[in-house]
Amino acid sequence: MDEQKVLSIKGLLDDTPEEYLSHKEKYENSIRKSVLFYKTLHSTEDENMSVDEKTKLNFRNIVTSAIFKDNSPFMLHNSMFIPTIMGQGTDEQREYWMKRAKNMEIIGTYAQTELGHGTFIRGLETQATYDPDTEEFVLHSPVLSSYKWWPGGLAHTANYCIVMARLYIKGKSHGIHPFMVQIRDEETHMPLPGIKLGEIGAKLGFNTVNNGFLGFENHRISRDRMLMKNAQVLKDGTFVAGSNSKLTYGTMVYVRVLIVSNMANMLAKAVTIALRYSAIRRQSQPKPDEPEPQILDYVTQQHKLFIAIASSHAFYMNAMWLWEIYYSVSLQLASGKLDNLPELHALACCLKPLSTIDATAMIEKCRLACGGHGYMLSANLAQTYGLATAAYTYEGENTVLLLQAARSLVKAWVGHVKGRPLKGTMAYLAGDSTVKAWDGSIDGIIQSFKVVAIRKISSVVKILQDYEKSGLSPEDAWNKASVFLTAASEAHGRAVLLSVYKSEMDKRAAVLSPPLRKVLLQLVDLYVTYWALEKVGDMLLYASITDKDVDELQRRYIELLAAIRPNAVGLVDAFDFRDEILNSTLGAYDGRAYERLMEEAMKSPLNAEPVNQTFHKYLKPFMRGKL
Ligand SMILES: CCCCCCCCCC/C=C\CCCCC/C=C/C(=O)SCCNC(=O)CCNC(=O)[C@H](O)C(C)(C)COP(=O)(O)OP(=O)(O)OC[C@H]1O[C@@H](n2cnc3c(N)ncnc32)[C@H](O)[C@@H]1OP(=O)(O)O
Ligand SMILES: Cc1cc2nc3c(=O)[nH]c(=O)nc-3n(C[C@H](O)[C@H](O)[C@H](O)COP(=O)(O)OP(=O)(O)OC[C@H]3O[C@@H](n4cnc5c(N)ncnc54)[C@H](O)[C@@H]3O)c2cc1C
């Protein structure tokens, strides 16, 4: 997708900064731009695309959608509506709906979360009751808490949506299934009879995504609107279960993988802004006889920012690696082979939380590193934070997903102890669980992170078993141990992030020029050393690190910051964000931050006149004691 082409779209870029638009104007402006964007770039994910092309398209979509400073009301159409049709529709349903969706003849969203339930999918209350007499499903929202609540684009944009509803046949529940539901008339866009729609209101971010609510009053849809790839309802109401009820959760796994690459992109944007600003901003005078230095020369500033560069690389490498796994498991599922789905689910349940936790924290650190100007909306750091922090919650709240990963880790460990072989990304759990002497090499530190994970998993399993021996139910034991279950999942996730980053870089290093290889491997070294220092407690407990080793690690870390400093600006320039996509007064390539700050300030409607009308209406009478 050619960004030049995107940016050449007349009217795509805002004359009036979004900050000065009303809530309603922001939405209307975003629709205007989304239509322009799609008309020019009508890029779709072709089923015949190679893994690499699909991944790049997703990644490019993310990058390009960044133009909107916030996200587009079309976001769910691309990121969930289309993938659900692809993953949950029969061949016939895909044939029909994919054509309409790809051509933007219809705009869709994905309506799963309800006012009363987001995490607990099996608790969703929207009903889809099959009527064999008319061969229809009756959709109904029995109580307020069953209203769909949150779906992007649902309020005023989408005219179709995937509704995840509880299927009832002859009074019996058959679990949650996906239904294709038209919610608005294709000509008038009016909500169809029996359908209540609206917007959920202003949020911390995502204020142009048009998140909405949806309630059904006995709304009927034909039988062929249930997406029936994984489970079917025959005309007479016979229910045919799928091979695995969790296949209906497939879109969420896809988006969790997408989010890891999205975090790489978000973090790259934020650190480009903060680091470029740090290269032009001069402040203080540590040496009386020298000019004020660039704030980028403060080692504390390097500590705040360089890890963000390395983390973006790490998330990107892990995301590309995870996409390969996702696509290969998807192909296996298509041929009925399910045995690698649990591992993909567990990986996504580790990497989505860790990438969003780290990216959110590091984007905020990029903002904080820019002083007062980082607090300006025109810097586009606050908005980037707002978008990233949402991913902590959506697509599976992070705690919940880490506990899901813990389920798999506990099962793997208990199986291992009983002699069952471990496989894939959990195979290392069968390895040595002690570090006889600290090995400060990159591979040695990564091995130590694996030992930390082994020890945390084995110890939390022991806690669980002790609780159950003491008479606690498995559920109560699980809840009591849950803090350390999430810690075990995080440790596993860290080990995966580090080892995949290193191995993926090693694969690429062979084809890099020696100078580039040196710089990129310095970032790997920085990433591994940073996390060893961040998790020094675990290293002391499980990896035989001594205070002398820690001292050595600290010195190595400082030297790495100094080594990276000369290439720091080049490293963020290499993310190759155009100014229009960075959309930031502080991050523009030309470094004219002060002029841009002033230019943006003058766009404030308040600066249109020297005296605001409230002076004569309120202030003057007030100051003259006449109010
Ligand atoms: C104009 C320009 C526009 C261009 C835009 C381009 C795109 C932009 C890209 C932006 C990038 C991304 C943004 C996407 C936006 C998304 C917005 C947000 C959407 C949403 O939030 S949708 C709703 C998401 N909701 C959730 O994720 C809910 C979380 N809850 C759950 O997943 C489940 O409830 C659960 C897993 C927590 C528990 O499920 P439950 O049925 O109770 O199961 P359990 O009993 O716990 O476990 C049973 C066994 O099932 C296994 N399991 C569970 N889930 C899965 C799964 N998904 N796959 C496989 N297996 C699964 C589990 O492991 C258990 O197995 P075991 O018994 O242990 O063997
Ligand atoms: C910006 C944004 C966009 C969204 N877009 C969509 C969309 O397009 N479509 C859609 O369907 N949904 C969407 N969502 C909804 C999102 O999927 C849910 O918010 C998310 O699944 C969490 O559910 P919840 O909000 O009901 O929180 P709850 O599930 O009520 O969880 C609240 C808190 O309770 C705790 N908790 C809950 N369960 C457990 C547990 N089992 N163990 C331990 N602690 C627990 C956690 O601390 C959690 O944060 C969006 C949300 C946001 C913020």
63 pLDDT more than 60: no
65 pLDDT more than 90: no
228 pLDDT more than 90: yes
Q: Which of 214-218, 232-236, 419-423 has the lowest mean pLDDT?
A: 419-423
Q: How confident is the model at residue 7 (pLDDT cuts 50, 70, 90)?
A: low
Give residue-wise pLDDT tens across range 447-472: 999 999 999 999 999 999 999 999 99
Give residue-wise pLDDT tens across range 337-387: 999 999 999 999 999 999 999 999 999 999 999 999 999 999 999 999 999
User: From the candidates 364, 395, 490, 504, which is the catalytic residue?
Assistant: 395
Cα-to-centroid distance, 563 and ligand 1 (Å): 41
Q: Is 324 helix (H, G, I), strand (E, B) or coil?
A: helix
Same CATH topology for 107-246 and 254-422+439-570: the answer is no
The closest of 191, 288, 305 to 564, measured between CA atoms, is: 305
Q: Please give the number of the atom of ligand 2 that sits closest to the Cα of 117.
A: 26
Cα-to-centroid distance, 421 and ligand 2 (Å): 35
Element containing residue 500 per DSSP (H, E) = helix 482-509
Q: What is the pLDDT of residue 431?
A: 93
Percent over 70 (pLDDT), the chain: 93
- Full DSSP string of 177-191: EEEEEE-B-TTT-PB
Q: What is the pLDDT of residue 231?
A: 96
Rounded CA separation 307/143 (Å): 48
Q: What is the pLDDT of residue 619?
A: 95
What average pLDDT does the chain have? 93
260 pLDDT more than 70: yes
Ranges of each domain in the chain: 3-69, 107-246, 254-422+439-570
Residues with CB under 6 A from ligand 2: 76, 110-113, 118-119, 150-152, 206, 211, 390, 393-394, 397, 399-400, 403
Q: Please give the number of the atom of ligand 2 that sits closest to the Cα of 116.
A: 26
Token representation of residue 510: 């062979």
Cα-to-centroid distance, 394 and ligand 1 (Å): 9
137 pLDDT more than 70: yes
Q: What is the pLDDT of residue 2?
A: 58
Q: What is the pLDDT of residue 44?
A: 44
Q: Please give the number of the atom of ligand 2 that sits closest to the Cα of 152.
A: 8
Q: Is 577 helix (H, G, I), strand (E, B) or coil?
A: coil
585 pLDDT more than 70: yes
113 is in an annotated binding site: yes
The top-level CATH class assigned to 107-246 is mainly beta
Give residue-wise pLDDT tens across range 71-122: 889 999 989 999 999 999 999 999 999 999 998 999 999 999 999 999 999 9
Predicted ipTM?
A: 0.97
Residues 505, 316: contact at Cβ < 8 Å? Answer: no
User: Superfamily for 254-422+439-570?
Assistant: Butyryl-CoA Dehydrogenase, subunit A, domain 3 (1.20.140.10)
Residues of 242-280 as b/e, b for ≥16 C-beta within 10 angstroms? bebebbbbbbbbbbbbbbbbbbbbbbbbbbbbbbbbbbb
Q: What is the pLDDT of residue 46?
A: 54
1 pLDDT more than 50: no
Q: What is the pLDDT of residue 172?
A: 98
For the question of residue 395 being annotated catalytic, the response is yes
**Residue of 72, 84, 110, 113 with the most ligand 2 atoms within 8 Å of its CB, for mutation:** 113
Please compute the mean of the pLDDT values over residues 199-205 and round it to a whole number: 96
The closest of 450, 574, 535, 452 to 500, measured between CA atoms, is: 450
Full-model pTM = 0.95
